[in-house]
Structures are given as C-alpha cells and as structure tokens.
C-alpha cells in the first residue's frame, strides 16, 4: 500500500509504503479470543467425556496461533518512508522510530526498475547514486511497484 503526502513543509513530498494487512491488531486479538473460547468449549466437552489429555494440545495450539498472530502484526508495522525534499531524498525503513536511513542528493539520485529475468519473478525498484543503492517496495504488488516507480521518476526527474 502506497500513501502519498506533502509535508512537513510545502516543498517536501513523502511516500509511505506499508505491506498490505487485511486484519488490524485489534481484529487479530478478537479472532484469537474467539478461537480461545471455541477451543475451551470443545476441550471442556471432551474432558467431561474423560479425554482430559486434550487440554495440553489445545493450549499448545493456542500458543502457536498467538505467536503467529503476533509475528504477523509485527511484520505489518514495517514501513518505508521516502521523503523527497528540495536537495535530498531520504529513505527510512523500519518500525516507527527504529530502523535504517539512507540519504541521496536529489540531483544525483536515480530511480530505476529492474525487470525480472523470468515472468514469475517480481521486478525490483531501486533508488541510488554513486554506487550506493537501496531497493524499496519489496512487499508491494507488481502493479503498485511500477506505479510508484513512474511517480518517483517523475518527481526526481530520473
């Protein structure tokens, strides 16, 4: 998902890239608690029939589901922010405040797209100058990546 904004000053353009996430953290918690309720009811019913050994396996299943939801939500928080100012292009990759930052002079920066060697591979969107390059938008769809490349090339003049 690509979001385009102007700011913090008027001559600054910012592209915010985030992976598609169909379920929010709040939604994941609701699904997890619903699954927990259903699993406790089923495990309770079987334990009343004398099959009490189902509880450890139900707990293990919930633990694995909780870890998977947590890792999925954590991965959805990653973002890439491309800030294009008058003089430079700054690329931030990470979660909120922790991450890596690259800076390129706007005049020398080049935006290019590497087409895939095979039809089933994804293309690569690269920004760089003077031998230093950064691949951006790895989590974007092919269509979003190509559209972003055109916009970045139009803005940067490359």
Contact predicate 13/155, CB 8 Å: yes
Q: Tokens 């269509």, residue? A: 143
pLDDT score, position 158: 55
142-156 residues labelled b (16+ CB within 10 A) or e (exposed) = eebbeebbeebeebb
> Mean pLDDT for each 10-residue chunk of the chain (158 residues)?
72 86 87 94 92 91 93 87 89 85 89 86 88 88 89 80
H-helix segments, 49-93:
54-76
Provide the residue ranges of all domains of the chain, joining segments of one domain with +: 2-20+79-156, 25-76
What number does CATH give the domain 2-20+79-156? 2.30.29
pLDDT score, position 60: 94
What does pTM read for this prediction?
Answer: 0.73
Instruction: Tell me the C-alpha distance between 148 and 142, whole Å.
Output: 10
Instruction: Tell me the C-alpha distance between 36 and 115, whole Å.
Output: 46
pLDDT score, position 86: 86
Three-state secondary structure readout of 89-126: EEEEEEECCEEEEEEEECCCCEEEEECCCCCCCCCEEE
Radius of gyration of the chain (CA): 22
**Element containing residue 42 per DSSP (H, E):** helix 25-48
| The total number of residues written for the chain in this structure | 158
């Amino acid at each position: 998902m690509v979001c385009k904004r102007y700011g913090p000053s008027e001559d600054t353009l910012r592209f915010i890239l985030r992976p598609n996430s169909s379920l929010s953290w709040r939604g994941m918690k609701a699904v997890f608690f619903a699954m927990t309720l259903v699993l406790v009811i089923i495990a309770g019913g079987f334990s009343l029939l004398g099959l009490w050994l189902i509880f450890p396996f139900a707990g293990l299943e919930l633990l694995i589901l909780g870890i998977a939801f947590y890792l999925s939500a954590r991965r959805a928080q990653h973002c890439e922010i491309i800030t294009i100012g008058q003089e430079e292009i700054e690329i931030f990759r990470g979660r909120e405040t922790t991450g890596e930052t690259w800076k390129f002079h706007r005049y020398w920066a080049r935006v290019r797209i590497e087409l895939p060697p095979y039809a089933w591979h994804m293309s690569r969107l690269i920004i760089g100058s003077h031998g230093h390059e950064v691949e951006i938008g790895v989590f974007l769809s092919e269509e979003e990546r190509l559209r972003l490349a055109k916009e970045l090339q139009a803005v940067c003049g490359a």
